[in-house]
Amino acid sequence: MTVLKPHILWNAVLFLLAAALPCSMRAAEPSAQKPFTVVLDAGHGGKDYGCRGKISNEKTIVLDVAKKIEALIKKEASDSIKPILTRKDDTFIPLDERASIANDANADLFVSIHVNSVAAKSRGREKVHGASVYTVGLHKSEANLAVAMRENGVIELEEDFTQTYQGFDPSSSESYIIFELDQNRHVAQSIEAASMIQERLVSDAGRADKGVLQAGFLVLWATRMPSVLVELDFICNPAAERFLASEDGRKKCAKAIYDAIIAYRTKFSNK
Ligand SMILES: [Zn+2]
């Protein structure tokens, strides 16, 4: 792999960063002193629309779902859960800043919320549908890699992204080798959280089950707690888009994720 100098550098930097983290920062157990903190990360924003549909767009859908989850927490569980939103309005936030918000808050769980799509030229794109929840790791299929490439591609809208991400190229599959190194950081708890969310998106929000998957998402990689990335459904499917664009659909998605956060906190909290 001598041809991959920038990626090796990125590899080395992140590996050293991970190794240098004090144990207290790696530990994911919520402490009894502070409330369980969940970071709700509405993807995209501002100049970055995310996926565009015919009647809606990703950045608007996911912000509304994140705000609905926050409202549910404040109404039903404010004594035990502290929600933090990475953005509260239509603002562009770089990926590394999103992770920093969670790291600085010493959060217990990071939930990044997105809407899926497939390339405009793909056959059957109007038929594909269903929810999936990702944890960070090396992808097992080209389809999973494509989702990570698209979500990571937003860094190209950031100024100085080649410096910030140490030469990581979101569109080069070779860059994704680094995610092999992430196998033992909070993997079990991240998968548990992902499964809890996925289960409820299927049973309570009526989404088809596209599974709990792994792929190399930069935003998850940079967090120091169990973290997941939710793809609610496909905006390129007209029926799924109508659901995501509707108040009722967003409410159902928010409630499903909220219920999963409650279940996760109950399982992993010391209280
Ligand atoms: Zn997205």
In a domain, 13, yes or no: no
Q: Classify 254 as helix, strand or coil.
A: helix
* Residue ranges with CB less than 5 Å from ion ligand 1: 43, 50, 114, 151
Ligand 1 mean position, distance from CA 165 (Å): 18
204-222: per-residue pLDDT in tens?
Answer: 999 999 999 999 999 999 9
Ligand 1 mean position, distance from CA 79 (Å): 31
Q: Say how far apart CA 10 and CA 209 lie, in whole Å.
A: 34
pLDDT at 22 over 60: no
pLDDT at 139 over 70: yes
In a domain, 137, yes or no: yes
CATH of residue 80's domain is: 3.40.630.40
Ligand 1 mean position, distance from CA 203 (Å): 23
pLDDT band at 8 (very low <50, low <70, confident <90, very high): very low
Of all residues in the chain, what percent carry a pLDDT higher than 70?
Answer: 86
52-97: per-residue pLDDT in tens?
Answer: 999 999 999 999 999 999 999 999 999 999 999 999 999 999 999 9
Q: Say how far apart CA 219 and CA 93 lie, in whole Å.
A: 11
> For residues 137-164, b (16+ Cβ closer than 10 Å) or e, as one string?
bbbeeeebbbbbbbbbebbeebeebeee
Q: Which is more confidently placed, 270 or 160?
A: 160
pLDDT recorded at residue 29: 52
In a domain, 5, yes or no: no
Which structural domain, as residue segments, surrounds residue 135? 34-268
Ligand 1 mean position, distance from CA 47 (Å): 13
Ligand 1 mean position, distance from CA 9 (Å): 27
Non-local (6+) Cβ contacts of 178 within 8 A are: 7, 10, 11, 14, 168, 216, 221
The predicted model gives 226-255 an average pLDDT of 98
Ligand 1 mean position, distance from CA 6 (Å): 25
Ligand 1 mean position, distance from CA 24 (Å): 31
Q: Classify 81 as helix, strand or coil.
A: strand
44-53: per-residue pLDDT in tens?
Answer: 999 999 999 9
Ligand 1 mean position, distance from CA 146 (Å): 12
In a domain, 29, yes or no: no
99-111: per-residue pLDDT in tens?
Answer: 999 999 999 999 9
Q: Classify 132 as helix, strand or coil.
A: strand
In a domain, 163, yes or no: yes
Q: Which is more confidently placed, 7 or 229?
A: 229
pLDDT recorded at residue 271: 45
Q: Which is more confidently placed, 182 or 160?
A: 160
The edge-to-edge listing of strands for the beta sheet with 227-234 is 81-85, 36-42, 109-116, 227-234, 131-136, 209-215
In a domain, 14, yes or no: no
pLDDT recorded at residue 42: 98
In a domain, 18, yes or no: no
Among the residue ranges 30-34, 39-43, 267-271, the one predicted with the least confidence is 30-34
Ligand 1 mean position, distance from CA 229 (Å): 9
pLDDT recorded at residue 182: 58
Ligand 1 mean position, distance from CA 194 (Å): 17
Ligand 1 mean position, distance from CA 33 (Å): 34
Ligand 1 mean position, distance from CA 181 (Å): 24
Ligand 1 mean position, distance from CA 148 (Å): 9
The predicted model gives 144-149 an average pLDDT of 92
Query: Would you state the torsion angle of the CA atoms of residues 65, 69, 72, 73, taken in this order, to the nearest 10 degrees?
Result: -160
Overall domain count for the chain = 1
Ligand 1 mean position, distance from CA 115 (Å): 6
pLDDT band at 21 (very low <50, low <70, confident <90, very high): very low
pLDDT, averaged across the chain: 88
pLDDT band at 183 (very low <50, low <70, confident <90, very high): low
pLDDT band at 9 (very low <50, low <70, confident <90, very high): very low
In a domain, 16, yes or no: no
Ligand 1 mean position, distance from CA 8 (Å): 27
pLDDT band at 6 (very low <50, low <70, confident <90, very high): very low
Ligand 1 mean position, distance from CA 32 (Å): 34
Ligand 1 mean position, distance from CA 43 (Å): 5
